[in-house]
């Protein structure tokens, strides 16, 4: 199906897998599959079952006008999930916020319980009926389902008065694309069809929390934010009694933060990821730690390698091994770690990027979602004891065939470090007909080009004849702490020279056209696109998406200023500021930004756009730059129709400046 990538509508309509849950007896895997709604304005998730044995075809479990998400199994095999579908048994069946639903092994799905602020992240215990969810609740609300102190009454009062204002008493006030407040996330335990509040006065402590239930359901282990003077915060681990909400601190450290807790099957040990607090001179480190659930000892680091990209560690049934996926030289393989000795064994040999690990009840098999730069996520099974290739299970969607080949490019950095990148090349490229070249710079900056991307998909460009280079410069993960540290506090130094060195190496190929080149990047990649624009004119066009442009402005206005202040000193900010080099920009730029982007606020794009216009001395009709603005999109531009317009505009801009064609404004933007 290479033609899928030549047709934007066909690409946008491809099914998208996410998440994985394994039944307690190991006989059923459940994943969420998002497909387009009939009018094409959004994706809608449904739950599908995949046969762990690889014999039966996948089958759809849920179907409704609303989306289903967050599958979780109870000990008896009942499948829980969240959905905003109407409850047919309610007095007045109507759409509402996401509620908790259950699908028994046999029978129809039924609504278990609802909340005015919706529910998310259902958690279940291995050996108990305990169920805990997160629900956004207005401060001061109690467990009442009606009356003046109920969450429903408070929400109705605000709605009736048409009040959307939020009065803040601390920092932060935003997170990524969401305004924080006035409601706050609370953990609620399910009692029959009613909720019991475990965290009645949470403040913003459980924003973006990760959590797990003990096997007997008696305690919830979760991350908790602790707010400190000068706008700073720390993340610690706490254990909350599901009987009465009593909270005790499990792990807190002034030099580290904790996330992704996972509890051993025997209920004695917590595994988590510990992230050291960065400084302007030292990047963060991520390590696997374990600690006793009873709090009798401090967290202990396991193994000698960093764990970038891991997600949540998954225990084996012996409570002695942990499985996780880690960034590693352009892939994200699965590793098995012996908790006692720290010994690490790699289980996968391919270049796949694995996630959502699930371990079979007998410990012999690991199930996962596997993607790669050239392959979207698919459900696979792995041997948990030996190193080998994955077995692909019959899934809900066929794997699309990409319209080209993927290879690696290697180079040597100015400081002698080895550099590598993925290179996607169209099948039509040859020395007689070399392909135009696109440099794509990843975001993060702590990250790696190692997995499939729906938003930045190189194969859409390959289908239009471009070769796309996906490099991992300094600040990339999966190459060791020293490689990452090369660019820390010096974004415009070695990360930039690394990108130029790997670009030079790629363009030594005679099937690539060194005279027709462009560069693109988003988020940190957009920062680097802006930096490139101010430091070289070697590219014919530059696309900068959700980009940092004026670092002195960005730091105090991003949603996580407390993190940014740890990253660079004022001197570093000044030395690495793209805005300081804006007068050198001569390359045509396409600026793209969403107004709901709170990680990189819209002011960055507005300032860049004004700078480009102010510096243009020619006829305004001949301005070579463009600004694609989305009033209601965020950092990623998620709506299907807007994602398609994003690509159409990029195609048109590159066609003009790389190929010399007249600019064709996409039809819906005229």
Mean pLDDT throughout 454-468? 97
Mean pLDDT throughout 345-355? 97
What predicted TM-score, i.e. pTM, was given to this entire model? Answer: 0.96
Question: How would you write 482-503 as a 3-class SS string?
Answer: HHHHCCCCCCCCHHHHHHHHHH
Q: What kind and span of H or E run contains 227?
A: strand 219-227
Per-residue pLDDT at 9: 93
Between 115 and 89, residue with greater pLDDT: 115
CA distance 403 to 3: 8
Task: With a cut of 80, say whether residue 90 has pLDDT above it.
Answer: no
Per-residue pLDDT at 93: 53
DSSP 8-state secondary structure symbol assigned to residue 620:
G
- CATH for 404-669 (3.40.50.1980, 3.40.50.1820, 3.30.420.40, 3.40.50.300): 3.40.50.1820
CA distance 518 to 29: 43
Q: What is the pLDDT of residues 235-290, one digit of tens each?
A: 999 999 999 999 999 999 999 999 999 999 999 999 999 999 999 999 999 999 99
Per-residue pLDDT at 87: 82
Per-residue pLDDT at 317: 98
CA distance 501 to 473: 10
pLDDT grade, residue 146 (50/70/90)?
confident
Average pLDDT of the chain to the nearest whole number: 95
Helix (H, G, I), strand (E, B) or coil at 436: strand
Proportion of the chain above pLDDT 90, given as a percent? 93
CB atoms within 10 A of CB 287: 19
By residue count, the chain amounts to 670
| 3-state helix vs strand vs coil in the chain, percent to 5 | 20, 35, 45
Where are the domains positioned within the chain? 404-669
The partner residues of 134 in beta bridges, in order of sequence, read 120, 187
Phi, psi of 564 (to 5 degrees): -60, -40
> What is the phi-psi region of residue 131: left when phi exceeds 0, alpha when psi lies from -120 to 50, beta otherwise?
beta
């Amino acid at each position: 199906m290479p033609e899928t990538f030549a047709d934007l509508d066909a690409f946008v309509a491809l099914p998208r897998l996410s998440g994985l849950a394994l039944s307690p007896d190991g006989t059923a895997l459940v994943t969420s599959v998002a497909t387009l709604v009939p009018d094409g304005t959004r994706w809608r998730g449904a739950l599908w079952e995949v046969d762990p044995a690889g014999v039966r075809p996948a089958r759809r479990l849920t179907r409704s006008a609303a989306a289903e998400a967050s599958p979780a199994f109870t000990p008896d095999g009942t499948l829980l999930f969240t959905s905003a579908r109407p409850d047919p048994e309610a007095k007045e069946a109507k759409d509402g916020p996401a509620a908790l639903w259950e699908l028994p092994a046999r029978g129809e799905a039924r609504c278990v319980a609802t909340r005015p602020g919706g529910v998310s992240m259902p958690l279940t215990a291995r050996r108990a009926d305990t169920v805990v969810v997160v629900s956004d609740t207005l401060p001061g609300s109690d467990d009442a389902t009606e009356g003046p102190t109920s969450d429903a009454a408070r929400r109705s009062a605000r709605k009736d008065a048409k009040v959307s204002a939020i009065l803040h008493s601390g920092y932060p006030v935003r997170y990524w694309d969401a305004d924080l407040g006035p409601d706050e996330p609370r953990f609620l335990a399910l009692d029959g069809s009613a909720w019991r509040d475990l965290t009645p006065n949470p403040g913003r402590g459980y924003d973006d929390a990760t959590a797990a239930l003990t096997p007997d359901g008696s305690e919830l282990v979760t991350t908790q934010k602790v707010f400190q003077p000068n706008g700073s915060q720390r993340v610690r681990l706490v254990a909350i009694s599901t009987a009465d909400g009593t909270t005790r601190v499990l792990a807190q450290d002034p030099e580290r933060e904790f996330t992704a807790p996972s509890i051993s099957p025997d209920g004695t040990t917590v595994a988590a990821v510990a992230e050291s607090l960065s400084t302007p001179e030292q990047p963060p480190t991520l390590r696997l730690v374990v600690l006793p659930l009873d709090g009798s000892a401090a967290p202990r680091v396991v193994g000698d390698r960093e764990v970038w990209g891991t997600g949540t560690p998954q225990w084996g049934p012996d409570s002695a091994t942990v499985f996780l996926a880690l960034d590693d030289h352009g892939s994200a393989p699965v590793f098995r770690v012996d908790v006692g000795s720290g010994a690490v064994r790699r289980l996968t040999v391919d270049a796949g990027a694995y996630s959502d690990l699930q371990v079979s009840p007998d410990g012999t098999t690991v199930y996962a979602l596997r993607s790669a730069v050239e392959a979207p996520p698919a459900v696979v099974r792995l041997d948990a004891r030996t190193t080998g290739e994955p077995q692909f299970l019959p899934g809900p969607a066929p794997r699309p065939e990409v319209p080209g080949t993927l290879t690696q490019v290697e180079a040597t950095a100015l400081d002698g470090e080895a550099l590598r990148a993925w290179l996607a090349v169209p099948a039509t490229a040859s020395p007689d007909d070399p392909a135009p070249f696109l440099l794509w710079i990843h975001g993060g900056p702590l990250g790696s080009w190692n997995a499939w991307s729906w938003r930045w998909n190189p194969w859409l460009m390959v289908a239009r004849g471009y070769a796309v280079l996906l490099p991992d410069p300094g600040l990339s993960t999966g190459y060791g702490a020293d490689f990452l540290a090369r660019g820390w506090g010096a974004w415009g130094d070695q990360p930039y020279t690394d990108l130029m060195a790997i670009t030079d190496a790629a363009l030594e190929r005679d099937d690539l056209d060194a005279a027709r080149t462009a560069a693109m990047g988003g988020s940190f990649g957009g920062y680097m696109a802006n930096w490139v624009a101010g430091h070289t004119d070697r590219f014919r066009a530059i696309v900068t998406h959700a980009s940092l442009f004026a670092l002195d402005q960005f730091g105090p206005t991003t949603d996580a200023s407390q993190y940014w202040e740890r990253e660079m000193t004022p001197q570093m900010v000044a030395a690495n500021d793209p805005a300081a080099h804006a007068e050198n920009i001569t390359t045509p730029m396409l600026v793209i930004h969403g107004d709901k982007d709170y990680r990189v606020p819209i002011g960055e794009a507005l300032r860049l756009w004004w700078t480009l216009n102010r510096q243009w001395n020619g006829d305004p009709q001949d301005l070579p730059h463009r600004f694609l603005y989305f009033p209601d999109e965020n950092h990623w531009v998620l709506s299907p129709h807007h994602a398609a317009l994003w690509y159409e505009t990029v195609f048109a801009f590159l066609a003009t400046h790389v190929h010399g064609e007249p600019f064709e404004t996409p039809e819906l933007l005229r």
